């Protein structure tokens, strides 16, 4: 599926300063002493925005930047040789994207904006020197990579071992807990529901299901009083029952969400 290509547009006004960044405690620079933040900011190219439903970069592209997602939702994907798309994961504020490369040094996946997004851009050519000069960044990058790998492993396990309702409930619960853990960094979040800009088609691409199968499973879950996706919102109606269906331990996904 082709998407419109977005031109990076610099945000108007003065870019957010790293020392006062709202997402820093959830991002790559978590734990960096405040006195070092002005130095790390010298590595940032700029802060940009892109529109919803547009491609940030394509799989295999020689793209100049890696990014901290400052606001919005993004989707990271890979395609098969036949052109079928697989969603690897959904990115939320604080996530660092574009660091991973294939053997040729190009992007190992594509990134697509589900909503309007703001991103802090870092030249990929300078990332290695940045990590060498600040070992804390390298350790944090390893932790974030391990977290993302854990998310993908759980989706892979669910795809191979769970039925459609279990897979879908597992994915939705993980996203729900992650968004709740971000608090006001994600707008329109309340006590038991979150804004949810992911279509049934894209849920299917993440889980190896058709959109029709996703629709049927969502209807069953709503009728059973477990959860509901309606008007671009995800609402958990019965958390304990959702955890039971998904076969997920709440403590584990809460710990992952806070990394």
> From first to last of its 259 residues, what are the pLDDT tens digits of the chain?
455 666 678 876 677 787 778 888 888 877 777 777 777 778 888 899 999 999 999 999 999 999 999 999 999 998 877 778 889 999 999 999 988 776 677 898 999 999 999 999 999 888 888 888 777 787 887 787 777 777 777 666 666 667 889 999 999 999 999 999 998 899 899 988 999 999 999 999 999 899 999 999 999 999 999 999 999 999 999 999 999 998 888 877 777 766 6
Whether residue 49 lies inside any domain: the answer is yes
The three state secondary structure string of 92-119 is CCCCEECCCECCCCCECCEEEECCCEEE
Calculated CA dihedral for residues 25, 30, 31, 35, nearest 10 degrees: -90
103 and 166 housed in the same domain: no
Whether residue 144 lies inside any domain: the answer is no
Q: Tally the domains of the chain.
A: 2
Domain with 38, as residue range(s), is 4-134
According to the model, what pLDDT value does residue 29 have?
78
Whether residue 212 lies inside any domain: the answer is yes
11 and 121 housed in the same domain: yes
pLDDT tens digits, 172-226:
999 999 999 998 899 899 988 999 999 999 999 999 899 999 999 999 999 999 9
- Of 7, 105, 106, the C-alpha closest to 61 is 106
Q: Average model confidence (pLDDT) for the chain?
A: 85
Whether residue 139 lies inside any domain: the answer is no
Does residue 161 contact residue 201 with C-beta atoms inside 8 Å?
no
Sign, CA dihedral 226-229-167-108, equals negative
pTM of the model: 0.87
Beta bridge partners of 57: 111
Sign, CA dihedral 107-59-86-71, equals positive
In angstroms, the CA 259 to CA 252 distance is: 11
8 and 130 housed in the same domain: yes
Category of 123 on φ-ψ map: left (φ > 0), alpha (ψ -120 to 50) or beta:
beta
């Amino acid at each position: 599926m082709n998407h419109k290509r977005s031109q990076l547009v610099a945000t108007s006004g003065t870019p957010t300063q790293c020392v006062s960044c709202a997402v820093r405690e959830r991002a790559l620079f978590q734990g960096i002493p405040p006195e070092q933040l002005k130095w790390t900011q010298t590595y940032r190219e700029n802060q940009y925005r892109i529109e919803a439903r547009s491609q940030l970069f394509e799989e295999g592209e020689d793209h100049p930047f890696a990014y901290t997602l400052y606001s919005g939702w993004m989707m990271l994907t890979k395609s098969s040789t036949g052109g079928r798309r697989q969603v690897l994961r959904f990115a939320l504020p604080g996530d660092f994207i574009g660091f991973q490369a294939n053997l040729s040094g190009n992007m190992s996946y594509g990134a697509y904006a589900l909503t309007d997004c703001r991103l802090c851009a870092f030249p990929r050519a300078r990332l290695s020197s940045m990590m060498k000069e600040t070992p804390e960044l390298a350790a944090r990058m390893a932790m974030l990579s391990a977290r993302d790998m854990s998310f993908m492993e759980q989706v892979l396990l669910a795809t191979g071992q769970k039925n459609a309702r279990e897979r879908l409930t597992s994915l939705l619960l993980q996203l729900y807990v992650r968004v709740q853990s971000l608090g006001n960094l994600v707008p329109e979040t309340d006590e038991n529901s979150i804004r949810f800009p992911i279509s049934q088609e894209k849920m299917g691409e993440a889980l190896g299901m058709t959109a029709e199968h996703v629709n049927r499973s969502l209807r069953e879950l709503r009728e059973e009083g477990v959860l509901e996706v309606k008007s671009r919102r995800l609402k958990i109606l019965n958390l304990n029952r959702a955890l039971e269906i998904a076969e997920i331990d709440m403590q584990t996904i809460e710990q992952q969400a806070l990394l």
